[in-house]
A and B are shown apart, each in its own frame.
Chain A
Amino acid sequence: MTVNSQVLMYIVSEESFSDKAVIIKEGSIGDWVYVILEGRVKIKKQTSGGLLTVDTLSEGDFVGEMAMLKQGNSTRTASAVADGPVVLGLLDSVRLAQEWEAQPTRIKKVISNLIQNLEEVTKKAADMIIASK
């Protein structure tokens, strides 16, 4: 998948990470969003059985969008770790936040809810993977 040209216009800086570098740490605070320009990123969650990979994202995918679109708090719900060398584009968080805030209440509700569901199902999937091991 290539990066959408509209998304490219939001990029304020490019950041490179080497294999296994931690891009975002679960539990930390922050609501900036990256788009993957090159390489792959593993999404990992802390479980009773240790750190577990729940998903792998690739070029064109967003990383860190959940904290931005959640209602109320910007705690990172999962870690993002480089899977090989990775180049990320950091999106203009001020512009994104302004555009997000300007959306009608119902739209915001629907998308926040989607993100909350994603958070819950990811947690559930992680727990079940551990339980099945």
Chain B
Amino acid sequence: MTKNKEKIPPVVKLNYSKGDLIIKAGDYGKSIYEIISGKVGIFVESGGAETRVAILGPGMIVGEMAFISGNTGTRSASARALEDCWLEVWHPAILLNDYKKMPDVLRLIAGQALKIIVRMNKMVVELSLKQGKHKDRQTQKLSDQWADKRKLYRKMVSLKCVFRPANSPEELKIRGIIRDVSMGGLRITVDRLGFRNYIPIPGDELFVSTYFESNQKVNMTGKVVWLKKGGTDGTISLGMAFTQMDPDDRKSLGFFLMT
């Protein structure tokens, strides 16, 4: 029991700027956010357009639907900072035990509320698409600009990996250690001998392979965003933003981040 408790990360406070995407519909994730200050908009996507279904303020919770649905599905709606705001992020593990212990009746009631919200959201989206198409298109454009500013749950790890430039032959293998990873990207450290044959520069596309579980291989492709020389031992750190990932690998990463 105590071992389990140690694994649960603390509640983290995050700062978002106006326009930042907090949750993206379609992502895997079960973190729950409490709004400390500022306003957050909830958007549902349908037919390539976005419709705002709610505006939430301080004291309110964002992202609880994926948690309550209990399944391993994706986020049903996006959440975006409508003004600068502070959010407290709760890793789902801190709630899951309590939720499981709850009397069945309360859990069933919560489940029904969720089911009706999903139905109502759908109705609101359908009606708003009928009523004002031009407005939605504008929202869609803005969301593209904002997509990269997302702050994703970042998990600290120490995972062996191999990588190579995406366009190089497979024989080239550089060994490194993944130090942290999120749905958006990862950070790798490589010892000074690692880059004997190739030195990456920002913008290079890398193909990375690792194992999340003992038998579960995951491949990720991403662009190098930064490089940094660390410490006296000559270790090099590099940050990478994902550009391409197979849906199954993406799902594996989603689950890995939740546990």
Chain A residues in contact with chain B, CB under 8 A? 4, 6-7, 10, 33, 54-55, 61-62, 65-66, 69, 91, 96, 99-100, 103-104, 106-107, 109-111, 113-118, 120-122, 124-125, 128-129, 131-132
Are B98 and A107 touching (Cβ within 8 A)? yes
Most buried by B among A104, A113, A121, A132: A121
Most buried by A among B61, B90, B131: B61
Chain B residues in contact with chain A, CB under 8 A? 32, 34, 42, 53-54, 60-61, 64-65, 67-68, 90, 94-95, 98-99, 102-106, 108-110, 112-114, 116-117, 119-121, 123-124, 127-128, 130-131
Are B65 and A107 touching (Cβ within 8 A)? no
- Cα A126 to Cα B17 in complex, Å, equals 33
Subset of 26 A-B contacts with CB under 8 Å: A4-B104, A4-B105, A4-B108, A6-B104, A6-B108, A7-B108, A54-B120, A65-B109, A103-B98, A103-B102, A103-B106, A107-B95, A109-B61, A110-B68, A114-B114, A114-B117, A117-B54, A117-B117, A118-B113, A118-B116, A118-B117, A121-B54, A122-B120, A125-B120, A125-B124, A131-B131
Chain A residues contacting B112 (CB-CB under 8 Å) are: 61-62, 65
Are B32 and A110 touching (Cβ within 8 A)? yes
- Cα A101 to Cα B131 in complex, Å, equals 42
Chain A residues contacting B103 (CB-CB under 8 Å) are: 6, 99
Chain A nearest CB: distance from B245 CB in Å? 30
Are B105 and A6 touching (Cβ within 8 A)? yes
Are A55 and B61 touching (Cβ within 8 A)? no
Chain A residues contacting B61 (CB-CB under 8 Å) are: 109-110, 113-114
Are A7 and B120 touching (Cβ within 8 A)? no
A-B contact count (CB 8 A): 107
Are A129 and B127 touching (Cβ within 8 A)? yes
CB < 8 Å neighbour of B95 from A55, A106, A115, A120: A106
CB < 8 Å neighbour of B113 from A33, A103, A114, A128: A114
Are B95 and A110 touching (Cβ within 8 A)? yes
CB < 8 Å neighbour of B106 from A61, A99, A118, A132: A99
- Cα A108 to Cα B128 in complex, Å, equals 32
Most buried by B among A65, A69, A103, A111: A111
- Known contacts A106-B98, A125-B127, A96 near B105 by CB under 8 Å: yes
Chain B residues contacting A121 (CB-CB under 8 Å) are: 53-54, 117, 120-121, 124
List the 3 shortest-distance A-B pairs measured between CB atoms, nearest first: A113-B61, A6-B104, A128-B127
Chain A nearest CB: distance from B170 CB in Å? 47
Chain B nearest CB: distance from A119 CB in Å? 10
Chain B residues contacting A129 (CB-CB under 8 Å) are: 123, 127
Chain A residues contacting B109 (CB-CB under 8 Å) are: 33, 62, 65, 69
- Cα A122 to Cα B98 in complex, Å, equals 28
Q: Which residue of B lies closest to A109 (CB)?
A: B61
Chain A residues contacting B68 (CB-CB under 8 Å) are: 110-111, 114
- Cα A110 to Cα B117 in complex, Å, equals 14
Chain A nearest CB: distance from B67 CB in Å? 7
Are A62 and B108 touching (Cβ within 8 A)? yes
Chain B residues contacting A111 (CB-CB under 8 Å) are: 64, 68, 106, 110, 113
- Cα A4 to Cα B106 in complex, Å, equals 12
Chain B residues contacting A113 (CB-CB under 8 Å) are: 60-61, 64
- Cα A100 to Cα B53 in complex, Å, equals 28
